[in-house]
Amino acid sequence: MNVILSSRLQKTTVLIAGFVVLAVVMVASILFGINQYSLTTAVEAYTQFSGSEEHLIITTSRMPRTLTAVAVGSSLAVAGVLLQALTRNPLASPSLIGVNAGAAAAIVTTIVVFGSQFPVSQMMWAGFIGAGVTALLVYGLASAGRGGMTPIKLTLSGAAVAAFASSVTSLFMLLQEKTMTEAFYWLVGSVEGRQLDHFFMIIPYLLVGWLGAMLLTGSLNLMVLGDDVATGLGQKIILVKATAILLVVLLAGGSVALAGPIAFVGIIIPHLCRFLVGLDHRWLIPYSIVFGGAFLVCADLLSRLVLMPMRLEVPVGVATAMIGVAFIIPLVRRRAYA
């Protein structure tokens, strides 16, 4: 496989540059949108807070939104790397194991059963639990029967459970029109309106997922060679697979609970990073963390600027879907980086 960065020095330099890019786009995300602010105003919002509209927007809207985009983008990218290594499927993403569909079904079911009595923070827990239960169900189905879990069994189980969860969601939304408006908040995928307390509620789980993925890089490098080779090299493949699935639940489930099902990040970023640094997960995971966060912040900025003359914003899930389709079509046709 041809890669752009071959030496350790090149990879380290570009990774540091990635952190700089991430910092720059985060600042841009705080400053630009329907309302534009100067860097001085942003600094004064934290050093000399006056309670003005500008300071309130920066501290209660722009900063939480930016941090949420970084956390969700990084987590979805790492979850995509884990699933693609686990299934050896270059198009695998968190939606493969039904995480998105399970979280959406749990949230819609909660709204139908309990109405609007729960605040957003508790609805996020419903999404997190739904994503986790769905992923564990898929893992259990894929592990049942002769031969244990295989990539094809995991893919088929995920497709079946995701289809069932989507059907439940559609049924509830069809029966109760009111549910559709309230569930739209999650189903489209958006980082708008998230608060710092929402971010701090989920970020510990995402940090555990990032750290766990970093510790698993050596095993992932062997898993992509196939189960037989990995077993021959001393890997306990059942333990590695179960750990990887648990990390995906933490990363993708936490992301969906925080911002809804944002598609394509888990496909686009792993492939771009693989194009840069190759198949070595010791580099692929940190690159995905940095560039996944930067990508979703940029996509969120784009979603604000597209309809800015009309003072409207497009949900970031729509922006990533439009970018993702343009990325996937040539990828499927060429498979240059698979």
User: What is the rounded average pLDDT for all residues in the chain?
Assistant: 85
Range of the domain at 25: 8-336
pLDDT tens figures, 133-191: 888 888 788 878 777 777 778 778 888 888 888 888 878 777 766 556 666 666 777 78
Among 179, 48, 26, which residue's Cα sits nearest to residue 109? 179
Instruction: Flag whether 3 is in a domain.
Output: no
188 found inside a domain: yes
- Asked whether residue 1 is domain-assigned, the answer is no
Counting Cα atoms < 13 Å in the Cβ hemisphere of 313 gives: 19
Place of tokens 């109760």: 176
Domain assignment of residue 181, yes or no: yes
For 23-64, write each residue's pLDDT tens digit. 999 999 999 988 889 999 999 999 998 889 999 999 999 999
Query: What does the DSSP assignment read for 81-92?
Result: HHHHHHH--TT-
| CATH code where residue 221 lies | 1.10.3470.10
Domain count, the chain: 1
Report if residue 223 sits inside a domain.
Answer: yes
- Alpha-carbon gap, residue 30 to 63, rounded angstroms: 6
